[in-house]
Amino acid sequence: MSDFVEDGQITNAHFTYSLNPDYRNLCQGDVLEVTSDLRNVMNEVHPYFDNDQYKYFIVLTQSCDLYRRDGKHCKSSYITLAAVRTFDSFFERVLIDNHYLEIKNGIRLLDVKNSTKVYQLIERVFNNTEPEYFFLYKEPLLRFNESMVAYLKVSVALKADLHYDTCISAKRIELADEFKAKLGWLVGNIYSRVGTKDWDGILGSDQKALMIKNEIESRCLCAKKEQIKELKKEIDSQGLQLDEAKERLNSIHVKTTYEKVIDAVSDALSTTGKHIKKEDRDKVLNDIKSRSVLKLLLKDDF
């Protein structure tokens, strides 16, 4: 039994995880920590995964095929495990692949116009509705201190008769039953929805939005395209580091659509309205500026 479980019971864990894990049998969705024994197995049969970036694996084989009915053997000849990596590394890779994010001198730069798409992507990941991935939220009570993402297509198979006990010894977290079903649905590519508890049932919509927003903004600088363009020049020329880039970004002003329209109107009045007295031109311009409806109509939409 894991040393962070008292009297066989976990209390107050995140809703994704079982409060009464079975440490005698493997189950679909079990999170295995890469122990020295499991690392030795990987080094022997799948050396590619003997890598520090893989600190956890998740069990994909169905629970019914893993149950040891006679106490010794399970039905399945193999235990299929999927690679688990940090949410931070997932965030960077998937946003770059989708051309939402670029990196300059190690600084992640996100065009604010992509922020809605990024938000929606992260929301799907959090709710486990993004195909090929399974999200595992951090849970310090289980010594699981960093959020992780399982890559369901990146899997390996171990022989059950040889490696079952090694996997049991590495078991750290068991999913709640409804999330075992959700994982099975994702793995089996069944086109029906498994009803699971989600963030909307735990947090209010504003709290959830703030949580996802914080996840995004803690990992990258989010700004307008023009600001990013200017900041990239300064990163190249001055070798700015992250804190310096944040400070500089705050001082890079990009004119809003409203400001650009006012500039255009002012220029038109100056060039084509030369016959009009300056004080009259200024009065017209100030009158235009005072129209709140104009500001509303020309509000930048991000």
pLDDT digits (tens, 9 = 90+) for 115-165: 999 999 999 999 998 889 999 999 998 889 999 999 999 999 999 999 999
Please give the structure tokens belonging to residue 238: 């001055």
pLDDT the model gives residue 208: 76
pTM, 2 dp: 0.70
Whole-number percent of the chain with pLDDT over 90: 45
- Identify the DSSP state of 276: S
pLDDT digits (tens, 9 = 90+) for 22-65: 999 999 999 999 999 999 999 999 998 888 889 999 999 999 99
The answer to whether the beta carbons of residues 18 and 175 sit under 8 Å apart is: yes
pLDDT the model gives residue 296: 74
Distances from the Cα of 278 to the Cα of 104, 259, 266, 273, 284, angstroms: 47, 20, 11, 9, 10
pLDDT the model gives residue 226: 85
| pLDDT greater than 80 at residue 282 | no
Pick the closest to residue 60 from 176, 149, 130, 157 (CA basis): 157
pLDDT the model gives residue 11: 64
Distances from the Cα of 211 to the Cα of 63, 82, 92, 146, 204, angstroms: 33, 27, 18, 15, 11
Q: Average pLDDT for residues 246-263, to the nearest whole number?
A: 80
Pick the closest to residue 167 from 84, 53, 81, 51 (CA basis): 81
pLDDT digits (tens, 9 = 90+) for 48-107: 888 888 999 999 999 999 998 876 789 999 999 999 999 999 999 999 999 999 999 999
> 80: which strand partners?
157
pLDDT the model gives residue 57: 97
Per-residue DSSP letters for 7-76?
TTB--S--TTB-SS--SSS--TT-EEE--HHHHHHHHHH-GGG-STT--EEEE-S-HHHH--TTSS--S-
Confidence of residue 273 (pLDDT cuts 50, 70, 90): low
Hey, what long-range contacts does 227-235 have (CB within 8 A, 24 or more apart)? 227/252, 227/254, 228/102, 228/109, 228/111, 231/104, 231/109, 232/104, 232/109, 235/104, 235/105, 235/107
